[in-house]
Amino acid sequence: MKNYIKFTSMRAGNFSIALFIVMLCVSISTMAQGDGPRFYWKTLAGMYAVPVIGSSMSGNANPLDPSHAVIAGSNFEASMATPGFARIIPLFKRSAMVSIIAPMGRISSDLTVGSVSSNQTARGFGDPMLQLSVNLIGPKAIMNIPDMLRYKPGFSLDIIGSLAIPIGEYDDESPINIGQNRWYGRIGMPIVWQIGSWVPGKRTTFEALPAVWFFGDNNDFVGKKMETKPMYQVEGHLTRDFMERMWGSLDFVWYSGGQATIDTVQGEALNNIGIGGTLGFQINDNMQLNLSYVSSINDSADEDLKMDSFRITFIYGWHKLIEGMHRLKGNE
Amino acid sequence: MKLIYSFLFAVILLQPCIEIRAQVQAKRPNIVIILADDMGYSDMGMFGSEIKTPAMDALASEGVRFTNFYTHASCSPTRSMLLSGQDTHINGLGAMDEWTAPNQMGKEGYEGNLSTSLVTLPQLLKDAGYHTYMVGKWHLGKAPDKIPAARGFERDFSLLDGMGSYWDMTNMTALNHTSVFTEDGKYLTKLPKNYYATETYTDKLISFIDEGKKDGKPFFAYVSHQAPHDPYHLPKDWRNRHVGEYDKGWDMVRQERLKRQKELGIIPENTQLAERMWYVPDYSILAPAARAVVGKKMELYAGLVENLDYHIGRLIDHLKEIGEYENTIFIVFGDNGAEGTDLGAMIGGTPGTLNYLYFASKWSNNHPNAWGEPNSYVGYGPGWAQVSMTPFSQYKGWMAEGGIRNALVVSGPISKLPKGSINNGTMFVADIMPTLLEVAGTKYPDNFNGKAQPKLAGKSWLPVLNGQAASPRTDKDYIAWEVFGNRAVRQGDWKIRWEIKPIGKSDWELFNIAQDPAERNDLAAQNPDKLKEMLILWDKYAKENNVILPDRTVFETLEDQLPPRVPVQEGYPPLINIRQFIPPADMMAEPKEIKKN
């Protein structure tokens, strides 16, 4: 009896509520990975997510300093865990996301200048970063489940603002720190461009994020003042579903500018490219796992940024309505 | 001189005959039958639909709408009557090929395809000097002696199966996995590039018409569209033209269509909507997500009908371009009630079966965003089928008006009635053959290939279309049907029907269709004499047409699958329909806290 009703009039079981929990993640732009693919897809307003991002980074610049000032002859190694929290809200009928991340972990550097080598390590909590993104062009805020079912990004353009709060651990006698001891943030305009149909298993997008980072002064960088010019960042992703719950992405990131000056000594401006890839897997309606690797490619000269990074991102998302449906389903 | 006068006199005498003959030759019209597969009674704009069908509406505006036109309750039986003019139990479709019962197997009239003993409409029109073309779905036999080319069509591009993909040759079951097509009498190894059923059928027909027009002969075109039969396959541009429009639900859309039908004069002012089928949920109790998904099925269907209408419009435009439109008769209708049964679930819905595996492989591209694409399977179910059949009860396969009554548009030089007329005469699909034979100036033969031909079952519409009669039938004439064991007779205002439980009562019911087209009131107990009178007609029909009631049917287990039948009444039960009580604002107050010492 139930089956007849299900099949004849209501056959919608294949429309999994898994749709509600999408690639919601929290920005972590430390390291040359950018925000990552499928970050600016939209989901149901009222949705919460807790991401935990594990990163292993290596290179000739402090990966936790977004300006990525290159220190020739150095080798940085960082192991970081970055939990976060995000919520999707409607803002003037547009989809918006507020989020915060709190990086923590350890970083060490080996520096060799001539025959002199030094080793330094920093550990603890980094600067938390707040971010607000608001969609400008594209589907309106997803206020209910029908909106969610009908969501297709088409061509979407957002505006984002990020701000790091300099309360992370900082040792003014060490050039290596988890905290940055300065305000910094960015403004960007992420784009998601749907290519072809929007069917799980077939979704394809081109995504881009042009952004400008602004840095306040660090007035106590080993007793000196460090100024950093704005840095321009463009990241791009070509993403494609492999199956309904598995997708991949080719990732590209380009950094330019960000020239640091310590007292009167000017450093080099960046002009670097990183490429890499991401594999994403939706574990169930609530959980998503992404694995990424990115590496700089134009890095043969000493002053070039050399950096690579592995990243594993686990996201747990929930919405009270969906959870209620889960509970009812469990009671059947 | 005398000789000259004699010659002139003879010429003067003969002149009217020559002119008449020339006029007859010149005026024989082209004939286009447009058959929409499973399109419902109220799906055309001029029959009350919100679906945009400007091409079909234009034909209706220039021609006549018939509100009491009957087909059969399912596909191939209707087609067999259209092309043979004979009752289904005589023409080979006493049972559908897919559902022939054990006791019908091997019996004459129950072959499951169009009997080769009978002459066909295209054959007679071809013999009468018409070009005969067919595009689209055939469903009347696949063997070489049963395909369109063997049954009178000079040119064809045909899907021989009853359903399948609109995009490719994927068919519906593990054992019948590939659709079979013919073109000009040859079985196709593959489909043309960029094939999409409705578009390709139209393109092919246009090419047939263009290639055949050089000799000046009129043409008969049987445009047997696959649309809008499920699965709802349609081009991307047509999939999202009604997003969210059907979230309001089937009850609301039925009411809107009913209102428009009354405004258009399609149905009497006092017509009520048929009861919603009891197993179709009240839309108002559905959650928004369910409404959106279920509503999307109707969005797809509406897009499919609009795409069909667009291609019908292309054909009309082409006929106008080549100067043939004014001399072309159009006959447009759906082949049976709208489809309310989920054929996909019926075929491939049981885990562990071969067809389930086949569906997993071929028909599982079923995320709603994929609906319309190749390998997707969506049909809209009984709730929306009842919308398509507004204001009637039931749908395809059944004998209520929702199963057998359809919208009919006839336009072109055949009609002398005022443009945009509405006619309420009782018409039948078997009437089309005698009507068109008369139009073509030919007759139904007594013998065909040495075999005596039965008397035609239908009646010509020309007296109606000439304005000489309101109906081709008198009050004594009757029409009868039987398929899947469901059966009915209509005579005048009255109708009896027998349908298997639980859709029917497994007993005869009696309705006054003129007063109660929605068949809400079974009058069998109230009017036993009328019932008896009608049953005599049924017995006569069954005897004359060798009706063998099936001992197995597609619906035999339905009673075990459906919930117990209960009346459907708006607002019941109040438990889930009572709205939140909101007290008067001036009587609202905060609670008084108890002060504890």
Cross-chain Cβ contact B292/A145 below 8 Å: yes
Pairwise CA distance, residues B70 & A40, whole Å: 55
Q: Does B248 touch chain A (CB under 8 A)?
A: no
Residues 201-220 of B with CB under 8 A from A: none
* C-alpha to C-alpha distance for B495 and B488, rounded to whole angstroms: 7
- Cβ separation of B293 and A3 shorter than 8 Å? no
Confidence check: pLDDT of B491 > 90: yes
| pTM of the model as a whole | 0.88
Collapsing DSSP to helix, strand or coil, A168 comes out as coil
Pairing of strands A231-243, A218-221: unpaired
pLDDT for residue B14:
47
Q: What is the pLDDT of residue A298?
A: 76
- Catalytic status, residue B75: yes
How far is Cα A279 from Cα B235, in angstroms, rounded to an integer? Answer: 32
CA distance B263 to chain A (A): 30
A152 or B5, which is more confident: A152
A199 touching chain B per CB within 8 A: yes
Average pLDDT value for residue range B120-129: 98
Active site residue B139: yes
Smallest Cα distance from A9 to chain B, Å? 5
What is the mean predicted confidence (pLDDT) over B568-597? 90
Q: Which DSSP string do the residues of B551-596 spell out, in sequence order? A: SS-TTTTHHHHSPPP----TT-SGGGTPPPP---GGG--PPPPPPP
Residues on chain A touching B382 (C-beta within 8 angstroms): 8-9
| Residue B5, pLDDT score | 53
Query: How confident is the model over A58-71, as pLDDT tens digits?
Result: 988 877 776 667 77
Q: Contacts of residue A198 in chain B, CB cutoff 8 Å?
A: 369
**CATH number for the segment(s) A17-331:** 2.40.128.130
d(C-alpha B434, C-alpha B454), whole Å:
13
The Cα of B197 is separated from the nearest Cα of chain A by a number of Å equal to 21
At residue A327, the pLDDT reads 85
Phi and psi, residue B520, nearest 5°: -90, -25
CATH class of B28-474: alpha beta
Percent of chain B at pLDDT > 90 equals 89
The string of DSSP letters for B28-40 reads: PPEEEEEEETT--
Note the pLDDT tens digit of each residue in A66-113. 666 777 778 889 999 999 999 999 999 999 999 999 999 999 988 776
Structure tokens at B242: 């009604």
Distance from CA of B555 to the nearest CA of A (A): 13
Which of B72, B89, B131, B139 is catalytic? The answer is: B139
Query: Using CB atoms, which residue from A4, A149, A152 is nearest to B562?
Result: A4
Out of B280, B342, B370, the one facing A11 most closely (by C-beta) is B342
Percent of chain A with pLDDT strictly greater than 70: 87
Residue of B75, B225, B233, B311 marked active site:
B75
Cβ <8 Å between B289 and A12: yes
Give the lowest-confidence range in A103-117, B174-188, B464-478, B561-575: A103-117
pLDDT tier at A330 (50, 70, 90 boundaries)?
low
The Cα–Cα gap between B220 and A6 comes to 44
Per-chain mean pLDDT for chain B: 94
Q: Cα B186 to the chain's mean position, in Å?
A: 28
Alpha-carbon distance of B246 to B294, in angstroms, equals 8
Q: Which residues of B touch A3 (CB under 8 A)?
A: 349, 561
Residues of B in contact with A5 (CB under 8 A): 279, 281, 563
Q: Which of B55, B407, B398 is nearest to B260 (CA)?
A: B407
Q: Which pLDDT belongs to residue B19?
A: 43
Q: How far from A289 is each of A38, A52, A91, A148, A316, CA to CA, in Å?
A: 12, 10, 28, 21, 9
3-state class (DSSP) for residue B547:
coil
Q: Between residues 66 and 105 of chain B, which touch chain A (CB distance below 8 Å)? A: none
Decide if pLDDT at A213 tops 50. Answer: yes
Average pLDDT over residues A207-232: 93
CA nearest neighbour of A94 among A129, A51, A144, A133: A133
What is the tens place of the pLDDT at every residue in B289-313?
A: 889 999 999 999 999 999 999 999 9
Mean pLDDT of B150-177: 97
- Inter-chain touch B381–A8, beta carbons under 8 Å: yes
A243 contact B CB<8A: no
Instruction: Cite the DSSP H helix spans in B424-527.
Output: 432-440, 462-465
**Mean predicted confidence (pLDDT) in A1-21:** 39
* Spans of all domains in chain B: 28-474
Q: How would residue A21 be classed by pLDDT, with cut points 50, 70 and 90?
A: very low
Taking the CA atoms of A243, A246, A250 and A252 in sequence, report the sign of the dihedral they define: positive
Q: Would you state the pLDDT for residue A175?
A: 79
Q: In this predicted structure, which of A239-243, A251-255, B23-27, B530-534 has the lowest mean pLDDT?
A: B23-27
Strand partners, A99: A86, A131
Q: Which residues of B134-162 are buried (b: 16+ CB within 10 A; e: fewer)?
A: bbbbbbbbeeeebbbbbbbbbbbbbbbbb
pLDDT at residue number B6: 52
* Percent of chain B clearing pLDDT 70 (strictly above): 95
Residue B267 has pLDDT above 50, yes or no: yes
Nearest to A199 among B244, B370, B381 (CB): B370
B381 touches chain A (CB under 8 A): yes
Does B469 lie at the interface with A, CB-CB under 8 angstroms?
no
Query: Does the beta-carbon distance from A202 to B279 stay under 8 Å?
Result: no
Flag whether residue B291 sits within 8 Å of chain A, measured between CB atoms. yes
Instruction: With cut-offs at 50, 70 and 90, classify the pLDDT of residue B26.
Output: low
pLDDT score of A235: 94
**pLDDT for the residue B193:** 97
Q: What is the mean pLDDT of chain A?
A: 85
Q: Which residues lie below 8 Å from residue A235, measured CB to CB, with a gap of 6+?
A: A34, A35, A208, A209, A251, A252, A253, A254
A148 phi/psi in degrees, rounded to 5: -65, -40
- Residue B293 contacts A, CB cutoff 8 Å: yes
Delimit the domains of chain A by residue range.
17-331
**A115 touches B at CB < 8 Å:** no
Size of interface A-B (CB pairs under 8 A): 84
Structure tokens at A186: 């960015």
What is the pLDDT, as a whole number, of residue B20?
41
pLDDT, tens only, A130-161: 999 999 999 999 998 888 888 999 999 999 99
Q: Does position A27 have pLDDT exceeding 50, yes or no? A: no
How far apart (Å, rounded) are the C-alpha atoms in residues B197 and A2?
35
B370/A9 Cβ within 8 A? no
C-alpha neighbours within 13 Å on the C-beta side of residue A164:
29
Contact A150 B236 (CB under 8 A): no
B572 pLDDT tier (thresholds 50, 70, 90): confident
Tokens 């920093």 belong to A122
